[in-house]
Chains A and B, each alone.
Chain A
Amino acid sequence: MNSTLSAVIAANRFGLGARPGDLVAIGADGRGWLTAQLGGAPPRLADAGLRSSVDILADALNLRREIQQARKSAVADDAQNAVQQRLPQFLKPIYVSEATARLAAAVASERPFLERLTQFWTNHFAVSVDKQFLGGLAGSFEREAIRPHVLGNFNELLLAVETHPAMLLYLDNFQSVGPHSPAAQQLGRRDAQRKIGINENLAREILELHTLGVGGGYTQTDVTTFAEVITGWSIGGDGGRFADAEPGRFVFRAEVHEPGEKVVLGRRYADDGFRQGEAVLHDLAHQRVTAQHIATKLTRHFIADEPPHAAVERVADAFMHSGGDLPTVYRALLAAPEAWTAPLAKYKTPADYIISSYRGLGVPVEAGHGPLAPFELLGQRTWQPGSPAGWPDRSADWDGASALMKRIQWAEALGERLGSRRDAQQLAPELLGASLGDATRTAVARAASAAQGITLLLAAPEFMRR
């Protein structure tokens, strides 16, 4: 079997890892194979049992209300604890079925470039399930705010993300209140001690992480003013004074919106309610600094840890010329000659490693927590980057000694599980193609058992990288 460098790079670096037969099917034109994946609507998850974020959040808010009521009433401690447990018991299975559906899609995908792009954008606009409710919402956030826009325009993607309940909860904006808003004035009259005001968390991370990037030319005043602009971007059904709107759905609450014209990054925005924030997002999405930031991250993810300057510039140019049309941006990335010279330029993240193993070895993704366990063991639990910056994307972030040992231990366990049902000697060229080196070829061929052969294949330097 002869496979080309182009096919290996396309399947393993731009895709999620070759399956047997993929490299031959791709042939000599890796770029063409990837470009073809950009045609048609973006893929949706097949599992019809997954619920919308509105349904999930409405139920979760109800449960929280019951817990709060039980706390107030004089119920026995045991009964209280039982009630307390109902929220995690509700959220956990949702997390498991969402993460499993996502993994199954990645492992089975015929358009793995799009799955990787989906993962890239989810990580760019990261939420983390270590915050309350997010365990039940991270999956629907990806399905509702990210997936439909992966082949759309950056501005639409940005707006979908920043108005999604998961993001408004994760970065606290749902309860941010303009200090001069009607609601604040009213509450202030009733209780002068009570402090009502903005929370600048989401505004800061939109500027720093989602659009301009750190050092992108904004000041603390821009952060604070932008936070005032998006006061009122909230979620229905959050109890108390806001019980009016539809539970779990995005709502613009005029009564908590900070009134007045505002200046962000030197531009003046008239006060037209929700549209004030929409206009700021629109302008952020069309700034050269934003294009540069996105281009740098994409180039780092798909080409090299230290992104080649010329490639970044070309991708940023495509972003600007097309007004943020994402397929145009991806095509500029694929056109970069730097992408096609060196195979194995990126050290795999744990998620890359697990998904490419499942794909390469044809491991079925069964229901339940089982297939998700390695993500936790190898240090990258799905949707839990732990911070809004998302998972890091350089070799040094992932190539620790202990991390390597865990990969090898997991590879051994998987090898033993599959045993003689897989032939590593036959699989090695199918998965690694033109990047397969003599040392690995020989080691796999001389393995003492089928299980050991699989372990050696997965532990090989060529399989640790993409």
Chain B
Amino acid sequence: MRMPRRQFLNLGALAAGGALLTTRLAFAHASERQARFVLVIMRGALDGLAAVPPYGDRDYAQLRREFALHAPGERGGALPLDGFFGLHPALNFMQQCYAARELTVLHALASPYRERSHFDGQDVLENGSPRPHALATGWLNRALAAAPTPRQREAGVALGQNVPLVMRGPAAVTSWSPSKLGALDDDTLARITDLYAGDPLLATRLADALAANAMVDGGGESAMEPAQAAAAPANNARYTEIVHAAGGFLRQPDGPKVAVFDTTGWDTHANEGGAEGQLAGRLGALDKALATLRQELGPAWSDTAVLLVTEFGRTAAINGTRGTDHGTATVAFLVGGAVAGGRVIADWPGLSTGALYQGRDLAATLDLRSVLKGLLTEHLSVPAGALDTVFPDSAAAKPLRGLLRT
């Protein structure tokens, strides 16, 4: 659904008027259906014009030259979306989700950050304020901390050894990552627990780690058939264990409901490739990981929304080394059984030189925080009144409503 600008804005205004009512309903609904949320951070700046090529834009092919993806059906063609945008051919599972109305693509979107440093860009993406290093906590943690029930407040898990900024803050979250090391001796563990009694940080971390391990080990059987589970690593080795653990946590009725994990390798300055090549390989691995996640979640998939975001986009034109440099607006993907999908939401600014931001990047017409606000209130029951704390100085970014099935 690529809307003309006017219609796009009207829809936002209408939705904002009914915000209070919508939030209450969503809360009642969310608590009975146990909404799950997975945030995937794509570190390194994903090339949105390669992942979701606007092959219908008349300037696109010239900017991308031999790496331009063609219309669906042609050789080297994109997968079909709405007739104007396509999906990168490595994103097969995503395309199936789109057809099943479980994928929404958000294009020409950006965080409020307008410089081109990865590290500051990721900081803004995670801290939820308009400025890098303005806050030492992350928006997702602050959102959890504002949730109505204690269980929702402690619903977070970071799938990695350490907790990324987006999940740091007042709400208790845990972290989990695969280990090749053996289980600890019970007596030794008890003694270490005693030893940490006077050290609040280590005591908390140890307790969290034990709770997370108990959940992954004893958390019910994988929803995957054994044959599927055995086949998965070969396809998908990069993210297999993380996705398996995400399934293990999220499918449990009493487990965490909100998970975050990182993916890397999106900084394609040179030899990015087109339908095939470096970026295609990365996208393919991610696509397979999402397919595995759906299998792992089983029936819980229908209550799940997965959001994939990156810190900023890349230059509209390819550079002199068959890659792209740091840019501005890009895409985000919202996928899952809870998503009101089958749409591309984009107020498309165009790719003519005059339309490009600073004459080089896809311009931003959608604030990432609008998407996040819509998701947090409608999917995770975060009270609308808490949004100012979750996203300081964001009054202009109105929540984008209707992203989820009702």
Interface positions of A (Cβ within 8 A of B): 130, 171-172, 175-177, 179, 193, 195-201, 204, 208, 214-215, 220, 223, 377-379, 386-387, 389, 396-406, 408-410, 412-413, 437, 439-440, 443, 447-448, 452, 455-456, 459-461, 464
Contact = CB atoms under 8 A, between A and B. Distances in A.
Interface in B152-189: 158, 160-163, 165, 168, 174-177, 179-185, 187-189
Contacts of A403: 161-162, 175, 177
Nearest to A173: B321
Nearest to B173: A401
Given A387-B43, A387-B118, A412-B184, A401 B209 contact: yes
Interface residues of B, number: 65
Contacts of B210: 405
Contacts of B160: 400, 402
B270 A175 contact: yes
B24 interface: no
Contact of A439 (B116, B118, B182, B195): B195
Given A214-B117, A400-B161, A403-B161, A452 B321 contact: no
| Residue with the highest number of chain A CB atoms closer than 10 Å, among B160, B175, B181 | B181
Contacts of B209: 401-402, 404-405
A220 B116 contact: yes
A223 B358 CA distance: 14
11 contacts: A177-B320, A199-B320, A200-B326, A377-B180, A396-B165, A397-B162, A409-B179, A409-B181, A448-B187, A456-B188, A456-B191
B191 A443 contact: yes
B201 interface: yes
A175 to B, nearest CB: 5
B213 interface: yes
A452 B318 CA distance: 58
| Residue with the highest number of chain A CB atoms closer than 10 Å, among B201, B210, B264 | B201
A364 to B, nearest CB: 21
Given A409-B182, A412-B184, A400 B192 contact: no
B126 to A, nearest CB: 12
Nearest to A208: B117
A443 B195 contact: yes
A187 to B, nearest CB: 11
Nearest to B201: A399
Given A201-B269, A401-B174, A459-B192, A396 B163 contact: yes
A156 to B, nearest CB: 26
B192 A408 contact: yes
Nearest to A347: B201
B179 A401 contact: no
Given A199-B325, A377-B179, A389 B119 contact: yes
Nearest to A213: B117
B35 interface: no
| Residue with the highest number of chain A CB atoms closer than 10 Å, among B192, B264, B317 | B192
A229 to B, nearest CB: 15
| Residue with the highest number of chain B CB atoms closer than 10 Å, among A204, A405, A410 | A405
Interface in B215-271: 264-265, 267, 269-270
A413 B181 CA distance: 8
| Residue with the highest number of chain B CB atoms closer than 10 Å, among A198, A214, A223, A398 | A214
A401 B116 contact: no
B195 A459 contact: yes
B373 to A, nearest CB: 26
Contact of B161 (A171, A402, A459, A464): A402
Contact of A440 (B195, B208, B317): B195
Interface in B27-68: 43-44, 65-66
Given A400-B162, A452-B191, A405 B213 contact: yes
A84 to B, nearest CB: 15
A461 B202 contact: yes
A410 B201 CA distance: 20
Contact of B321 (A199, A440, A443): A199
Contact of B212 (A401, A409, A452): A401
A399 B205 contact: yes
A401 B325 contact: no
